[in-house]
Amino acid sequence: MSDENQAIVVLPSQPGRFRNKSTEVSAIRRGEDGAADYVPHVTPGDIRLIVTVAGQQKRHGERNSLLIKLLFDGALRCSEAIGLRPCDLVRDGNGWVVSIMGKGSKPGKVAISASLAAEIQSYCYRLKLLEVARVFPISRSQCFRVVCNAFDQAGVRRPTKNKDRVGAVHVLRHSGAIERLRQTGNPKALQDQLRHKSAQMTLRYLKTVSTDESLKIQQQVDFRW
């Protein structure tokens, strides 16, 4: 087997360093060789490492770490994340919702974690941002640089469109979607979060979740006989 075809894994004790092993494989690959419906993604552990490294940058560290968190947490596209304004962040009876302008200039709403909402609000308050000002006033190309630099500095292999069919920014959306599916076990809720027109698109994420992870989800069901 050539080096290109060998699986890549992150050592639990040394995030960002890789080794070859058949039983543990990096998520940044197609689940089976040539599997068209596999969704490339990175682990939450890698995301935390990337966020930490981004936050340590002397210039715009907090902003960059919040941007990466938002892309992952909300499973957002680049344009949706950098378009965020303080007024777009709203709390309803169940939690926090972000109003976004989605693909094709279609408005939508997505959920984000309460802890991230609090961080973003605190950041906006300290910077005295106007309600209609952009939280992340950067371009798409700047967003790409921020994310790619964070991947590289964290030592986490970033995906490429040639090899993985997805770039480093969009893989954060994939990764957040996979983790949301793992935690909720609800493909319909994920479809709404991602704003997919077709359920077939969302089923790709369901197929990507491993058999063991699917079993863990189902083990949470208790009919309470």
Q: Which of 148-162, 175-189, 192-206, 210-224 has the lowest mean pLDDT?
A: 210-224
pTM attached to this predicted model: 0.81
124 CB-near residues (< 8 Å, 6+ apart) = 86, 135
Q: State the Cα–Cα distance between residues 199 and 204, nearest whole angstrom.
A: 9
List, in sequence order, every beta strand (DSSP E) within 54-144. Answer: 89-91, 96-101, 107-112
The separation between CA 190 and the C-alpha centre of its own chain, rounded to angstroms, equals 13
Q: State the Cα–Cα distance between residues 25 and 77, nearest whole angstrom.
A: 26
Instruction: Please tell me the predicted confidence (pLDDT) of residue 210.
Output: 77
Judged against a pLDDT cut of 50, whether residue 148 lies above it is answered with yes
Judged against a pLDDT cut of 50, whether residue 3 lies above it is answered with no
Q: Are 71 and 169 in contact (CB under 8 A)?
A: yes
Judged against a pLDDT cut of 90, whether residue 202 lies above it is answered with yes
CATH superfamily, domain at 3-212: Intergrase catalytic core (1.10.443.10)
- pLDDT tens figures, 34-75: 466 789 999 999 999 999 999 999 999 999 999 999 999 999
Mean pLDDT of 6-18: 35
Q: State the Cα–Cα distance between residues 136 and 117, nearest whole angstrom.
A: 14
CA angle (7, 145, 76) in 5-degree steps: 75
Q: Where residue 21 falls among pLDDT bands split at 50, 70, 90?
A: very low
